Chains A and B, each alone.
Chain A
Amino acid sequence: MTRARGWALLALALLAPACERALKPGDPLRGLTRRERRRFARGKVVFDRVFTPEKGLGPLFNSTACGECHEKPTAGGRGDEVEVHATALKKGGVCDPLVEEGGFVVQQHTTPALKQALGIDQEPFPPSATARAKRTTAEIFARGLLDAVPESVILAYADPDDKNHDGISGRPNRFVDGRLGRFGRKALVPTLDEFNAGAFSAEMGITNPAVRAEETIGGQPIPAGVDPVADPEIDQHALDLTNAFVRFLALPTPAKLGREGRRGRELFSQIGCAACHVPTLRTGESPVPALRNKEFAAYTDLLLHDMGPDMADICLGLATPSEFRTEPLIDLRHADNYLHDGRAATLQLAIAAHGGEAAGARDRFKALPPGDQNALIAFLKSL
C-alpha cells in the first residue's frame, strides 16, 4: 500500500461517522441486527394493519389502526386525531380512573353492531368524571430509547420538594401497581410493551395476550353477539412484532444548526428550558445492542411538573390535574400543533402557555429580544 493510499483510508475512517446518513422519521435505529431489522419491517405491517369488526375491531374504538393516528410524516409520527380522557379527583386527592364507568379513555367510535344494539355512536361520557381532557396523537420515535433509560436516571432528576430552590420540582408518576411510570402525557405507564398492549385494547378494542378482556361499555357488559371474534383478537406474535417496530423506531436526526440555531440552543439552556427538557438521557443495559448505553437527545426528564392552572385537566395516577410529564422534544419540525391537547398553533404560543414551574423560563423567553426569540424557535424547529 502506498503512503498516500494509507492516508486516504485513515481519513475515510475518521470521516465516516460524520458522514453517516441522517435518520429520517420512521427509520429504524442504527446498529440493529439483520433479524431485528426484519422484525421491524414485519412489525410495521401489523402497525399499519387496518382492523375491521370481523378482525376484532371494537366494539368501542378510537381508531382502526395504529398507523391511522401515528401517520405524519410517516408511520410512528403524529396524527390529527384528538381523543377524550376523563377521570375523577376524589376527596383526599385519590385519582379515580373510572374503570367502573368504562375507564379513563372515552372511545369516540362504535362498531355498527354496537350502534345497532345500544344506539350509541361513542362511549357514554362517565357520569362521575370531575374533569375532561383532550389528547392529541404524539409521535412515538425513540420510545425504545426512552424505555431503556434506567429508573435511577429518572429518579436522579426528581426534586419533589425543590430542595435546590430552583423552582423546578419534578416527581415521578406511578402506575396503579406502584411501578414508576414514564409513557403517556401524564407518565402513567411503566414500559413500552405495556403501553402498546394497552393501546391495542383502549384505542382499537383489540384484545391480546396481555389484555385478554374487552373493556365495558361505560361500565356495562358488551351486549351478546356484538363482538363475536374470540379473545385474544391478536396473538403474541403480532404483539411482539408491533413492539419490535415501535421499540426500534429511531430518533430522527436533528437538522444541522446554523449560527442562529446554535444561539437558540445556548438560550434554551440559559433561560431554563433545559431544567425539565433535559437535553440528553443515557440508556442502560438492554438485550438490544442498538439500545444499550446510548446517549440520545431526549429533551425530557420523564417526570411530572406542575404546569399551572391554565393547563390543568385530569388527574391520572399520582399526577394532579396541573401536572404533566415533560414532553420529549422530538421531530418538532413536523408538528403543526403543540402541547398535549394541540391548543398551541405555534411554538411561541406553546411557550407562552407554560405556567407553574415553567413560568420562570416562559417569562425569560418573553424578555428576550426578538432576534433571540427567533433563534430559540429556530433551534426547536431543527429537532
Chain B
Amino acid sequence: MQRLNRTVALVAMLLLLPAALSAQEELPHTYRGTVHAVHAGSVDLVTGVGYALRLVHLRMQPTTHISGEGGPIAPDDVRPGDVMRADCRLTADGIVAERIELKRRAP
C-alpha cells in the first residue's frame, strides 16, 4: 500500500512539473545591466553577480516602452555602455523586454 502511494505521488509530481515550469516561464523578470550590443529588435545586456558576468539577450517589440533622461527614448538611441533596467517576460521564444528604463548613459 505504501509503495502504491509513493508511486501515485511520483506520477502526480511528474505530471505537474511541466505545468509548473511553463507557469514559471511566463513570470515577469527584471534585469539590470550594461548594454553590450544593440541589434535590430534586440539588445544584449551584461549582467551578473560579482566577477561572474553573463550576457542576456533581450528581444524588444514595437510595444516595448523605453524611457530615460526624463522622457521616452527611441530604440535606435540606446547605445553600448548605457546602464538599463528592463522589465521582461520569459517566454518560450526567449526574454522579451516590456519596459526599459535607462538609468545612466554611456560614458
Contacts and interface: CB of A to CB of B under 8 A. Distances in A.
Interface of A: 90, 92-94, 96-97, 99-100, 103-105, 174, 176-178, 183-184, 188-189, 194-199, 201-203, 210-211, 213, 215, 318
A103 B47 contact: no
Contacts of A183: 50
Interface string B48-62: 111111110000000
A195 B49 CA distance: 7
A100 B52 contact: no
Contact of B51 (A92, A93, A104, A178): A104
Given A92-B106, A99-B55, A318-B107, A198 B48 contact: yes
A202 B51 CA distance: 6
Contacts of B49: 194, 197-198, 201, 210-211
B53 A99 contact: yes
Contacts of B107: 92-94, 318
Contacts of B46: 97, 99, 176
B36 A178 contact: no
B51 A105 contact: yes
Nearest to B82: A94
B52 A96 contact: no
A215 B85 CA distance: 22
A26 to B, nearest CB: 23
Q: How large is the interface on B (under 10, 10 to 19, 20 to 34, 35 or more residues)?
A: 20 to 34
Of A184, A198, A203, most buried by chain B (CB within 10 Å of CB) is: A198
A176 B47 contact: yes
Contacts of B50: 183, 189, 194-199, 201-202, 211
A199 B50 CA distance: 7
A177 B53 contact: no
A213 B54 contact: yes
Nearest to A94: B81
A100 to B, nearest CB: 6
B51 A94 contact: no
A291 B52 CA distance: 27
A177 B36 contact: no
A199 B51 CA distance: 6
B103 interface: yes
Contacts of A198: 48-52
B33 A177 contact: yes
B106 A177 contact: no
B103 A178 contact: yes
Given A105-B51, A178-B83, A215-B52, 9 more contacts: A99-B54, A100-B55, A103-B51, A104-B53, A177-B85, A195-B50, A202-B52, A211-B49, A211-B50
The 5 lowest CB-CB distance pairs between A and B, nearest first, are A198-B50, A177-B32, A94-B81, A201-B52, A198-B52
Contacts of B53: 97, 99, 103-104, 176
A240 to B, nearest CB: 15
Nearest to B55: A99
18 contacts: A94-B106, A99-B36, A99-B53, A103-B52, A176-B33, A176-B48, A177-B32, A177-B83, A177-B103, A178-B103, A184-B51, A188-B51, A194-B50, A195-B50, A197-B52, A198-B48, A202-B51, A215-B54
B36 A211 contact: no
Interface string B23-55: 000000000111010000000001111111111
Contacts of A188: 51
Nearest to B31: A177
A176 B51 contact: no
A177 B101 CA distance: 12
A28 to B, nearest CB: 23
A279 to B, nearest CB: 28
A189 to B, nearest CB: 5
Contacts of B48: 99, 176, 198, 211
B66 to A, nearest CB: 16
A72 B80 CA distance: 41
Contact of A176 (B34, B80, B106): B34
A100 B36 contact: yes
A184 B85 CA distance: 24
A184 B51 CA distance: 9
